């Protein structure tokens, strides 16, 4: 009798633990967190890219940019190996593209940017995107142009961490970026690939881009695309981005229901 009671207690406890774990995520938690991580690390790379393209000794540029947004300081070291760009947004905040940034972004360059087989490593020093602190490493490796003649490169996030109010988003990504130049100031980025991590509720997730995520050089958030999210002990869900006005928003489709989210 005692043995049976122990078994019943164990089963009830296991069911309670599973329910508690499931209750730690709603329809949108994971979609919000993977979207935040994507925005933080993609924005950091796009910033380094914009500066590198206008920096003598890093790219083929004949001039060197002193500031990207007018409130940051850029330091360039073309003597060391690897060459280095440091963008200091300071600690009073520097706003660009409607986002406040703090701290430093550091890019280390291997080969002439962005020629085939060159690479850049991106790291962070007390760096904040809005209220999110970013840590980890981004590695970008430049590949041959694709069949359409567009530049493409591998984009890896290693040990990525985004911290907000003592809660962490952990993110590792393996993406391919296609760069579509339109002959004007706007550049389109088309992103494909997978990622995984742990959201702020402690739930493990896996993410696969189903419809290529598209963003632009003038917007820090995706304007189009979708990703399928697999969350342990939860139903798979699809996060869809379709913003015509550069907003940090999307829709989650789960179990036949559509739930909007903001991140």
Given a cut of 80, whether residue 19 has pLDDT beyond it is no
Of residues 1 and 190, more confidence is placed in 190
pTM score above 0.85: yes
Letter string b/e over residues 152-187, b meaning 16 or more CB atoms within 10 A of that residue's CB: bbebbbeebbbeeeeebbbbbbebbbbbeeeeeeeb
Using the predicted structure, report yes or no on whether residue 23 has a pLDDT greater than 80: no
Q: Give residues with Cβ within 8 angstroms of 132, minimum separation 6.
A: 36, 40, 162, 163, 164
Average pLDDT of the residues in 14-31: 59
pLDDT at position 244: 81
Residues 231-259: tens digit of each pLDDT: 988 999 999 999 888 999 999 999 999 99
Rounded Cα gap, residues 173 and 42, in angstroms? 11
- pLDDT single digits (tens) 28-42: 999 999 999 999 999
Evaluated on CA atoms 207, 36, 232, 228, the torsion sign reads negative
């Amino acid at each position: 009798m005692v043995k049976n009671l122990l078994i019943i207690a164990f089963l009830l406890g296991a069911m309670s633990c599973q329910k508690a774990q499931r209750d730690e995520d709603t329809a949108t938690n994971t979609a919000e967190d993977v979207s935040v991580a994507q925005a933080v690390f993609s924005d950091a790379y796009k910033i380094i890219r914009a500066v590198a393209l206008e920096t003598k000794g890093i790219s083929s540029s004949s001039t060197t940019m002193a500031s990207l947004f007018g409130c940051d300081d850029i330091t360039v070291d073309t003597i060391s190996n690897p060459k280095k760009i440091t963008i200091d947004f300071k600690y009073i905040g520097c706003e660009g593209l409607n986002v406040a940034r703090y701290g430093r972004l550091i890019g280390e360059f291997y080969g002439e940017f962005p020629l085939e087989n060159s690479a850049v490593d991106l790291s962070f020093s007390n760096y904040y995107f809005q209220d999110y602190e970013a840590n980890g490493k981004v590695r970008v490796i430049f590949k041959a142009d694709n069949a359409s003649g567009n530049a493409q490169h591998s984009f890896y996030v290693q040990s990525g961490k985004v911290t907000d109010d003592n809660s962490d988003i952990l993110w590792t990504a393996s993406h391919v970026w296609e760069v579509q130049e339109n002959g004007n100031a706007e550049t389109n980025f088309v992103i494909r690939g997978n990622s995984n991590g742990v959201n702020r509720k402690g739930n493990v997730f896996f993410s696969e881009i189903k419809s290529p995520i598209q963003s632009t050089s003038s917007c820090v958030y995706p304007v189009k695309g979708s990703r399928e999210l697999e969350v342990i002990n939860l139903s798979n869900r699809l996060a869809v981005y379709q913003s015509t006005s550069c907003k940090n928003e999307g829709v989650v489709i789960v179990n036949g229901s559509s739930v909007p989210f903001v991140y």
